[in-house]
């Protein structure tokens, strides 16, 4: 089923078709439907190759969103940098808080309900219990 080797344009065309059918159509296509479509429409490659087109379309989609997000974040980051130089301490603190959120270091308050007794030991108390 390997057949002849496709040109780059033919391969790119199949990846583009997969991208279109997965992300741009009203009736989104799943993986199994894509494989069936390829067998019916092309019928010249293995399922492994059709799966490779699927993966390439996914990579293109992720790159598209990464680029779009980067274009949107750059102005926001520049604004935050400007706010870090503000004279008002509250504004500077809010800018720092936003930067922490963007980097995934957001401080979260965690509520824990503890039932029973909690025993804590530090330093020498702990060493004495262990016989050290």
Report d(CA 45, CA 22) in Å as an integer: 20
Please give the chain's pLDDT, 132 residues, in tens. 556 888 999 999 999 999 999 999 888 889 999 999 999 999 899 999 999 999 999 999 999 998 988 888 888 888 888 998 989 999 999 888 888 877 776 666 566 677 778 777 776 655 565 565
Contacts of residue 44, Cβ cutoff 8 Å, sequence gap at least 6: 1, 3, 4
For the chain, report the end-to-end CA distance as a whole number of angstroms: 72
User: Crossing angle of helices 8-19/47-84, nearest 10°?
Assistant: 70
Contacts of residue 72, Cβ cutoff 8 Å, sequence gap at least 6: none
Residue 18 contacts residue 57 (beta carbons within 8 Å)? yes
- Provide the CA 52 distance to its chain's centre, in angstroms: 20
Prediction pTM value: 0.56
């Amino acid at each position: 089923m390997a057949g002849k080797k496709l040109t780059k344009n033919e391969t790119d065309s199949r990846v583009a078709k997969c991208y279109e059918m997965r992300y741009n159509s009203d009736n989104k296509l799943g993986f199994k439907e894509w494989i069936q479509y390829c067998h019916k429409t092309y019928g010249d490659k293995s399922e492994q190759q059709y799966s490779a087109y699927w993966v390439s379309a996914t990579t293109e989609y992720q790159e598209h969103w990464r680029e779009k997000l980067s274009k949107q974040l750059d102005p926001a980051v520049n604004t935050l940098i400007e706010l870090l130089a503000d004279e008002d301490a509250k504004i500077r603190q809010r800018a720092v808080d936003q930067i922490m959120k963007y980097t995934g270091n957001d401080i979260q308050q965690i509520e824990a309900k503890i039932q029973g007794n909690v025993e804590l030991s530090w330093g020498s108390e702990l060493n004495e219990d262990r016989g050290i």
